[in-house]
Amino acid sequence: MNKSKSAPIALSIALLLSVVTTGVHAEEEDKRSPLEKFQGGTHFHFFMCQLTARKAELDVKMGNLREPYTTVGACVKDGKSAVKALFPKAISPFASKPEASKLLKEYYVLWLTAMDSVKPDINEDDSEYEKRQKNNDRKLNEAWHRFEIEAEI
């Protein structure tokens, strides 16, 4: 991808990142349940780190960044830390449902693994990266649905 085509894409991603993060800091009280906060947190941080990875890759191609791994790694670390704080309250209502609790833990493990794979592999082309990310999305959705069925929610 040449610089002239990359610049508008990078600008679009940067704008989207700023809009999404601005919306998160709204003054309104968050009335979601701990489970909804956990699920929302996993979706939000996974998506934000995917966007961060795409922007970092474009910045590398445009010559504005030497490598994407530090930027993406920081996003992944922050996302994992934020979601880790949500997990204990999300799982506690399922103490009396051991299978549901087990499936929620499995979802969390899959999410942690997916977060680790947000970083682009060296020499991985865009289509391979997109395919890998879509596969992670599919696995996460399937794991969440298994949990929902077992938890009867």
Read off the pTM. Answer: 0.81
Q: Are 43 and 9 in contact (CB under 8 A)?
A: no
Judge whether 11 lies within some domain. Answer: no
Residue 109: CB atoms within 10 A of its CB come to 11
Judge whether 2 lies within some domain. Answer: no
The tally of domains found in the chain comes to 1
pLDDT tens digits for range 32-88: 999 999 999 999 999 999 999 999 988 988 999 888 889 999 999 999 999 999 999
Helices (H) and strands (E) in the chain, counts: 5, 0
Judge whether 88 lies within some domain. Answer: yes
Tokens of 127: 């289509």
Judge whether 109 lies within some domain. Answer: yes
Distances, alpha carbon 20 to alpha carbons 33, 44, 145, in Å: 21, 9, 26
Q: Are 83 and 42 in contact (CB under 8 A)?
A: yes
pLDDT tens digits for range 112-126: 999 999 998 888 888
Judge whether 125 lies within some domain. Answer: yes
Judge whether 23 lies within some domain. Answer: no
- Domain residues for the domain of 106 are 35-53+66-151
CA distance 104 to 67: 35
Judge whether 24 lies within some domain. Answer: no
Q: Are 143 and 103 in contact (CB under 8 A)?
A: yes
Judge whether 21 lies within some domain. Answer: no
Place of tokens 């670390």: 77
